[in-house]
């Protein structure tokens, strides 16, 4: 068995953090399903920005511009077309696992990150337009996004909570999810609404690379991961979650995101081998997925009690790293970077539209 298959057999889902129309047309995504144990897919504005900037979508953009579409409306038409195709590829997995796996994700406009009402409305609209039961709508887990997550789950919309960085962020996102499920139970509705909570990993180590001693480099992300996983396992075993399970619901799954190593001196599979754990998802770009397939190794699973994370985090505190403050900065910076990618993406689309409608 490949390392990917061994990791999947250990209880972790491997998802692809990429999508392009070219990958769909040339069968790359189906190949990853068939050979690399991939059981789902995620996307974000940065991924679509790179894909559309490649020029591969120019003809489709011109056709839609001729039909009168522009800006966000045109982009979402392109994205939904791609994600429908991807969702159909993963649907047999979704059916086989009863909705545990086989998901794809589409993000709401990043410019809505601080507007809860508009975010919830956009989530409902995009999910309805896509018309695929195995499509997550991604909502940032910012403080302003949490009410939108709760409202969307209460409305029965499957949600991928994104831009989480710490155990505190995760717990707030999980609480919003559980509140949404509890509202459905109180209203006599089906509580089985799927969700994942996406915690970004490699950005931690990238943020402190120049400010900590060599012995602490590339250790913060995994320590944060252990801390988050401890919170996750504690919540899984709580009375609150068990009551929901007894009512027919299920727990939101923990997803590791941003799992490509940014430091060239670090192992390229650092955030795959180091975050192996049952009941979780690891979504990774092609380069990391292929690296793990080629030379990855599955070691010990993450400890449910957090292992040495407290001791390691104390070392970072002694080195001057304020983890809580850094988590907030990473979330804010992440939201801003997605807005920048979004604006660049719309700029590319609008330039193509201008050529058609000068």
List pLDDT tens digits, range 340-350: 989 988 998 88
- pLDDT number for residue 358: 62
| 267 pLDDT more than 70 | yes
pLDDT at position 215, please?
Answer: 95
Strands 159-164 and 195-200: parallel
* Amino acid 357: pLDDT: 67
Give residue 113's pLDDT: 80
Number of structural domains the chain divides into: 1
The answer to whether 86 touches 29, Cβ cutoff 8 Å, is yes
Per-residue pLDDT, averaged over 233-248, amounts to 97
Sequential DSSP letters for 14-80: EEEE---HHHHHTTHHHHHHHHS-EEEEE--HHHHHHHHHTTTTHHHHHHHHHTT--HHHHHHHHHH
**What is the pTM (predicted TM-score) of this model?**
0.96
Widest Cα–Cα separation across the chain: 62
> What are the contacts of 29-34 at 24+ separation with CB within 8 A?
29/86, 29/89, 30/89, 32/289, 33/89, 33/90, 33/93
CA distance 128 to 147: 20
Question: Which comes out higher in pLDDT, residue 111 or 222?
Answer: 222
- How large a percentage of the chain has pLDDT more than 90? 87
pLDDT of 88 above 70: yes
| CATH code: domain of residue 324 | 3.20.20.70
Residue in the block written with tokens 């039909």? 67
pLDDT of residue 102: 98
Band of residue 126 on the pLDDT scale cut at 50, 70, 90: very high
Q: Is the pLDDT of residue 353 over 90?
A: no
> Judging by beta carbons within 10 Å of its beta carbon (0-12, 13-18, 19+), is residue 345 exposed, middle or buried?
buried
**Per-position DSSP letters for 289-353, written without gaps between them:** HHHHHHH----PPPPTT-TTHHHHHHHHHHTT--HHHHHHHHHHHHHHHHHHHHHHHHHHHHHHH
Q: If you average pLDDT over residues 40-69, what whole number do you get?
A: 90
Residue 350 pLDDT = 87
Question: What range does the domain containing 311 cover?
Answer: 3-356
Mean pLDDT throughout 293-314? 96
Answer yes or no: 50 catalytic. Answer: no
The C-alpha atoms of residue 358 and residue 346 are separated, in whole angstroms, by 17
Selected residue with higher pLDDT from 5 and 50: 5
Measure the CA dihedral 319/325/331/335, to 10°: -110
pLDDT digits (tens, 9 = 90+) for 288-303: 999 999 999 998 999 9
Task: Say whether pLDDT at 356 is over 90.
Answer: no
Report the C-alpha gap between 199 and 168 in whole angstroms.
Answer: 11
Nearest to 4 by CA among 318, 296, 338: 296
**Across all residues in the chain, what is the average pLDDT?**
95
Task: Give the percent of the chain with pLDDT over 70.
Answer: 99
Pick the catalytic residue from 22, 31, 133, 138.
Answer: 138
């Amino acid at each position: 068995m490949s390392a990917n298959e061994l990791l999947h057999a250990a209880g972790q889902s491997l998802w692809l953090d990429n999508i392009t129309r070219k990958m769909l047309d040339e069968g790359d995504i189906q190949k990853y399903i068939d050979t690399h144990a991939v059981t789902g897919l995620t996307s974000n504005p940065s991924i679509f920005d790179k894909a559309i900037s490649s020029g591969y979508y120019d003809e489709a953009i011109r056709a839609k511009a001729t039909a009168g579409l522009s800006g966000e409306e045109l982009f979402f038409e392109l994205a939904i077309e791609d994600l429908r195709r991807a969702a159909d590829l993963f649907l047999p997995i979704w059916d086989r696992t009863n909705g545990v796996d086989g998901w794809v994700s589409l993000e709401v406009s990043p410019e809505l990150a601080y507007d809860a009402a508009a975010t919830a409305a956009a989530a409902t609209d995009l999910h309805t337009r896509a018309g695929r039961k195995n499509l997550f709508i991604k909502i940032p887990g910012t403080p302003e996004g949490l009410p939108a997550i709760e409202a969307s789950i209460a409305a029965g919309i499957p949600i991928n909570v994104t831009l989480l960085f710490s155990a505190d962020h995760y717990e707030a996102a999980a609480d919003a999810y559980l509140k949404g499920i509890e509202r459905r139970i109180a209203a006599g509705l089906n509580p089985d609404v799927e969700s994942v909570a996406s915690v970004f990993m490699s950005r931690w180590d990238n943020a402190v690379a120049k400010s900590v001693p060599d012995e602490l480099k590339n250790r913060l992300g995994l320590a944060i991961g252990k801390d988050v996983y401890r919170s996750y396992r504690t919540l899984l075993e709580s009375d609150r979650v068990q009551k929901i399970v007894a009512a027919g619901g299920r727990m939101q799954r923990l997803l590791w995101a941003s799992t490509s190593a940014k430091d060239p001196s670090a192992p390229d599979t650092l955030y795959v081998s180091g975050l192996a754990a049952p009941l979780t998802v690891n979504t990774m770009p092609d380069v990391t997925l292929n690296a793990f397939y080629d030379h990855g190794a599955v070691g010990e699973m993450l400890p449910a009690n957090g292992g040495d994370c407290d001791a390691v985090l104390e070392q970072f505190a002694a080195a001057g790293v304020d983890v809580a403050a850094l988590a907030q900065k990473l979330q804010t910076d992440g939201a801003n970077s997605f807005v920048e990618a979004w604006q660049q993406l719309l700029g590319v689309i609008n330039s193509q539209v201008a050529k058609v409608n000068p």
